Structure formats: structure tokens, C-alpha cells
Amino acid sequence: MPFSDFHFRPLDSGDAAGLYKLVQQNNARLKKYFPLTLEAVNSPSAAKRYVRENLEKMKEGTGYYFLVDYLPEQRPVALLILKDINLRIPKAELAYFVDGSFEGRGLTTWAVGHLVHFAFNQLGFHKLFLLADEQNHGSCRVAEKNGFGCEGVLMDDYRTGVGDLINSRYYGLLKSKWESCRNEIL
């Protein structure tokens, strides 16, 4: 897949309709891991509110939201988030999902790489982390391909949107490790 067909960019005020469509097209897939996003973007007006609230978080530095656009169709196909920011460290959690029709083709790995680069170089974070269901092998591979290491497994740490308690792999990446191995990653 040529990544020249994609554009990684921050969320902007005109994204509500595209984001709503992305979330609705992936409703069944998002129910398990992104129930709060699914609930927050459950109508066109709710999508506008979601965009407005998260643009405010970006201004405040309490969260950062990005989309990946598929340029041939001029539509967003992935959402990536930096959240749970702790400026004392400084560190943040990554969360991401990609449209099901683009899953398994390297797009998520590529997009997470852009988000990691932004977080370390533009925001000056020292550490990034993400949580992945230990059974979600695709998400675990995305983390590992971007240089994250598994720091442990958190038992029954997350209740999915369908009610199951699952174990989460905690992946971390220090800026110093990323800088020393990013040529291998990229």
C-alpha cells in the first residue's frame, strides 16, 4: 500500500462529518475497545461536540487528536489520540483505531510512527505508553514495530464495551530508546 495516498494530520473543526462516518462504519469493531468514543460520536451533533471538546483539549495541552486521511477518497480512515498526559514525567498514553477495510496493511504502524515522532519531537515527552488486549495480536505488533517494549501484563485491568474483563499488555517507549533505534523502526 503506498503511504503517499495517506495524510496524517491534527483534528480540525471541519472533521465532525467524516469522523462520524468513520465511527459509524466501524461501530461493531469499536464496541469492544472504544466504547466511550462510540458513545461520544453517536450522532452528527454529538460528533460536532466531540470535535469541539477535543479541540479545546488540544489548546489546553490535555489531549491531542489526529486523523489519517485516505486522499483518493478524501475521507478519514484512522483516529489516533494522545491522552492521560502526565507532565511531571512527562508521558502520555496512545490510543488508535483504523477503519476495518485498511486493517492489516501497515497503515496503523505508519500512523503510530507519526504520532510517536510528534509526541517526542513537538511535545517533548519523555515516555509514551499504550495498553493492548493481550489477545489483540495486531495491536501488540503495531506497538512492537514502533519500538515499544512490553513492560508487563495488567490482569483483568480493562472492562470492554461488551462487558468482559481482559488482561492488558502495558507497552512503553522512552524517547532515548526511540532515538537510538528509530532508523530501524522507520
Domain boundaries along the sequence of the chain: 3-185
Give 53's Cβ-side CA count (13 Å radius). 9
* Percent over 70 (pLDDT), the chain: 97
Average pLDDT of the residues in 12-29: 97
Nearest to 91 by CA among 155, 181, 151: 151
Interval 7-21 mean pLDDT: 98
Fold of the 3-185 domain: Aminopeptidase (3.40.630)
Query: Mind listing the pLDDT tens digit for each residue in 55-88?
Result: 999 999 999 999 999 999 999 999 999 999 999 9
pTM of the predicted protein model: 0.94
Q: Is pLDDT of 185 > 60? A: no
> Which residue type occupies 169?
R
Report the DSSP beta bridge partners of residue 96.
Answer: 80
pLDDT tens digits, 92-150: 999 999 999 999 999 999 999 999 999 999 999 999 999 999 999 999 999 999 999 99
- SS3 per residue for 62-88: CCEEEEEEEHHHCEEEEEEEEEEEECC
